[in-house]
């Protein structure tokens, strides 16, 4: 007697459409994030010409600035070596595959959507790393308190999607619909 599969764990017996409809929110989220992220970066780099404009004040607390992140999140592990960049791309590729498997097995709409946001953001930043050797960051929030200016990290839309996806996963795990208890 071999392993037993539930109907929704396999592509056979007509469940392909059930699987694809269950994955649809995550796939749409991933593609939308990827498209918006890459479009915003291309527009800022080549149409708006942010590299030549320098910092652009948008509001009293938000500027557009160009930052090339050669490290990982928050600029950690910065290295210009080609080997380090390849290693970061490999880690990112493995992470996206693991997240896609998790998304295929997710049981809630919110988890599927959240994983799609993370996958889309990670893929957008990976494309930057491949195309430019660094991730294009451009959004800077700051606050002036007296004579001191406090800056947040410079980030992009992919980073926003990743943070939103992680927040949604945390919400789903702690406050979402509880899993059915085994008999």
Q: Which residues are catalytic?
A: 137, 159
Cα–Cα distance measured from residue 83 to residue 88, given in angstroms and rounded to the nearest whole number? 9
Cα–Cα distance measured from residue 19 to residue 104, given in angstroms and rounded to the nearest whole number? 8
Q: Could you give the angle at the alpha carbon of 149 between the alpha carbons of 147 and 150, nearest 5°?
A: 140
Nearest to 93 by CA among 131, 41, 129: 129
Joined together, the tokens standing for residue 120 give: 């889309």
Cα–Cα distance measured from residue 118 to residue 34, given in angstroms and rounded to the nearest whole number? 10
Burial 130-156 (b: 16+ CB within 10 A, else e): eeeebbbbbbbeeeeeeeeeeeeebbb
């Amino acid at each position: 007697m071999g392993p037993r599969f539930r109907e929704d764990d396999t592509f056979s017996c007509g469940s392909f459409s059930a699987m694809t409809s269950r994955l649809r929110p995550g796939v749409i989220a991933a593609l939308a994030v990827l498209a918006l992220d890459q479009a915003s970066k291309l527009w800022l780099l080549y149409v708006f010409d942010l590299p030549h404009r320098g910092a652009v004040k948008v509001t009293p607390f938000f500027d557009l600035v160009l930052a090339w992140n050669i490290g990982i999140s928050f600029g950690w592990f910065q290295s210009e070596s080609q080997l380090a960049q390849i290693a970061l791309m490999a880690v990112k590729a493995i992470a996206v595959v693991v997240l896609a498997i998790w998304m295929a097995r997710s049981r809630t709409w919110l988890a599927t959507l959240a994983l799609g946001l993370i996958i889309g953001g990670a893929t957008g930043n990976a494309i930057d790393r491949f195309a430019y050797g660094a991730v294009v960051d451009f959004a800077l929030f700051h606050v002036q308190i007296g004579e001191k200016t406090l800056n947040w990290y410079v980030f992009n839309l992919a980073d926003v999607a990743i943070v939103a996806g992680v927040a949604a996963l945390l919400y789903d795990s702690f406050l979402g619909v509880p899993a059915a208890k085994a008999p």
